[in-house]
Chain A
């Protein structure tokens, strides 16, 4: 059983559409990270959120940390084929916690 549940598992959309990926847990996290993994490569960090209610923007990507620090979302506006990949959320239960709990990931495919 994974500590972080991601939904949906798969998402296929047309270029230009918007999408949202969710990361939920019953546990409270000190911080939460989002990674993107492309085929044949390792995950690459997109953002870290640490404060409940925090919103961070990275170009067309908007990340939100829930007020209670139990959930997070990633919203992509006007998706492009380059956004295709596996999106993983990972949480740390405390600032001294080296063990990140990874979600199973959401596979996003953006069709041209």
Chain B
């Protein structure tokens, strides 16, 4: 089992540029989550997909953020245009079920730096 795979591992970009983060969840998992982690705010849920359908995007900070899940094995998180305050580590996680006691399997994250 390869686990959740995220790419790229690191992204450095200039303010105003478009950034696309990618995620491949564990096969068979029907729930996918995008989180953002910063020192100040810890882990924040950005968006939750169930069976490829966005269920809760209330954590998406602004219209500059968008996420898609075109199929069960791929999801993207896009920031356009990017700003320095978007600098953080972005994690994708998947789980077998959406129930609260189902464990989350995290990828190793994408460290985004916007200058």
Q: Which chain A residues have a beta carbon within 8 Å of chain B's beta carbons?
A: 2, 30-31, 33, 35, 40-45, 48, 50, 88, 90, 92-100, 102-105
Decide: A42 and B4 in contact? CB cutoff 8 A.
yes
B101 contacts A98, CB within 8 Å?
no
**Whole-angstrom distance from the CB of A44 to the nearest CB of chain B?**
7
Interface size class of B (residues with CB under 8 A): 20 to 34
Q: Is B45 an interface residue (CB 8 A)?
A: yes
Report yes or no: B42 in contact with A95, Cβ–Cβ below 8 A: no
> Would you call B93 and A33 a contact (CB within 8 A)?
no
Q: Do B91 and A42 touch across chains, with their CB atoms under 8 A apart?
A: yes
Judged by a CB distance under 8 angstroms, whether B43 is at the interface is: yes
Q: Which 9 A-B pairs have the closest CB atoms?
A: A92-B100, A42-B106, A31-B101, A97-B100, A102-B43, A98-B98, A45-B103, A104-B42, A43-B106
Do the beta carbons of A102 and B56 come within 8 Å of each other? no
Identify B31's interface contact among A2, A96, A98, A103, CB under 8 A: A98
What residues on A are CB-neighbors of B113 within 8 Å?
none
What is the CA–CA distance of A40 and B48 in the complex, to the nearest angstrom? 23
A84 to B4 Cα, complex, angstroms: 23
- Docked pose: A105 CA to B87 CA in angstroms: 20
Please tell me which one of the listed residues B4, B33, B56, B103 contacts residue A48 in the complex, with CB atoms under 8 A apart: B103
| C-alpha spacing A69/B98, complex, angstroms | 21
Chain A residues near B25: list those with CB within 8 A.
none
Residue of A nearest to B4 (CB): A42
- Choose from A31, A33, A98 the contact partner of B50 (Cβ within 8 Å): A98
* Proximity bits, B55-80, A CB within 8 Å = 1, else 0: 11000000000000000000000000
29 A-B contact pairs sorted by A residue (CB < 8 Å): A2-B42, A31-B100, A33-B103, A40-B108, A41-B108, A41-B109, A42-B4, A42-B93, A42-B107, A43-B43, A43-B106, A45-B105, A50-B101, A90-B104, A92-B99, A92-B101, A94-B100, A95-B101, A97-B99, A97-B100, A98-B50, A98-B55, A98-B99, A99-B56, A100-B100, A102-B43, A103-B42, A104-B42, A105-B42
